[in-house]
Amino acid sequence: MGGIEFLGDSPLERLMSLMSKLRSENGCPWDREQTFSTIAPYTIEEAYEVSEAINQNDMDSLKEELGDLLFQVVFHSQMAAEKNAFDLVQVCDGLVEKMVRRHPHVFQAPDNRTAEDQSIAWEDIKAKERKQKTNAGYLDDVPLALPALTRSEKLQKRAARVGFDWPNLDGVLEKITEEAQEVAMAAENKHQDAIEDEIGDLIFAVTNLARKLNVDPEKALRRTNNKFTGRFKHIEAMAKSSGRELSEMSLDEMEKFWSDAKSL
C-alpha cells in the first residue's frame, strides 16, 4: 500500500506504522511539528464529529469519524513513545486493566445488577481509586476541557455523592429564582463582571434542576437549539415567500410566524 513497509499484519499495527512514518524525518512536515497541545483541539473536534454522526444515525459517517478519532489516539501515543513516556500498547493494556477492575460483576463475581446499579458501582470504584492518589481532591479529576455545561453537571453529581445536594426540588427552584433576581440587579447596576458571574450562577442552578429531574442538560439544550433553528427557518421561508428580507419584517410579524411554526 503506497510503498509503506508495515511492521505487522493487523490493522492496528499498520496504523501504528503509518503514524510512525508520518512523524519520521522523511515523513510529513506538518505531522512532525505537532505537539500534544496543538493536536488536542483536533481530538476534541473529532469526538464531536463522532457524536454528530450518531445523532444523524449515519453509519457510514460514524465509521469514518471513529477512524479519525482513533487516529488521534494513535497520534498522541506516538508522540508519547518518542518521549519514552508510554506507547499505544501500554495505552491498550492500561485500558483493559482498568475495565476489568471496574467490572468485577463480569470478570470476578457475576451478579444480576442493573445498568443503574453498575453506574453507582462504577462511581464507587472510581472514588476508591481517587483515594489511592496522593492529595487527590474529590473534584480534581472532572476534566477542565469538558464543555462548561457538561462539566457543571458532573461537578454537581460528584458533590451529591457525598451529600452536598438539595434534598428536594423546592430548594433548587428557589435558588433559580434567587439567581435570576441577582442577574436583574447586576444588569440594573450595569456591572459587566457581576452580570457574567450571576448569569453563570443562574445557568449552574438550572443545570442542577435538570440533574434532579434526570435530564441531560446538554441534550436538552441541543434539542432547544434544533427547535429554535427549525422555527426560525419557517420565519425565513415566510419572508422569502413575500419577497422581503428578514430585516424588513416587524417583530410582530416574526412573532406571528414563530407562533405558526410552533403549531406545525
Residue-level pLDDT at 6? 57
What average pLDDT does this structure show over 71-97?
Answer: 96
Q: How many CB atoms lie within 10 A of CB 93?
A: 12
Provide the mean pLDDT of the chain: 90
The per-residue pLDDT for range 55-81, each reduced to its tens digit, is: 899 999 999 999 999 999 999 999 999
Spell out the residues 6+ positions from residue 145 whose beta carbon is closer than 8 angstroms to its own: 40, 44
Residue-level pLDDT at 132? 73
Percentage of residues of the chain with pLDDT beyond 90: 63
Residue-level pLDDT at 32? 96
Grid coordinates of 260: 405558526
For residue 36, which of 80, 71, 67 has the smallest C-alpha distance?
80
Q: Give the residue, 237 or 134, on which the prediction is more confident.
A: 237
Is 137-215 a CATH 1.20.1250.20 domain? no
Residue-level pLDDT at 19? 95
Residue-level pLDDT at 211? 95
Residue-level pLDDT at 8? 65
First-to-last alpha carbon distance for the chain, in angstroms, is 53
How many angstroms separate the CA atoms of 52 and 66, rounded? 11
What average pLDDT does this structure show over 23-44?
Answer: 94
How many angstroms separate the CA atoms of 46 and 53, rounded? 11
What average pLDDT does this structure show over 10-37?
Answer: 94
Residue located via cell numbers 486493566: 97
Percentage of residues of the chain with pLDDT beyond 70: 96
Is 11-101 a CATH 1.10.287.1080 domain? yes
Contact 156, 211 (CB under 8 A): yes
Residue-level pLDDT at 131? 72
The per-residue pLDDT for range 136-193, each reduced to its tens digit, is: 788 888 888 788 999 999 999 989 988 999 999 999 999 999 999 999 999 999 999 9
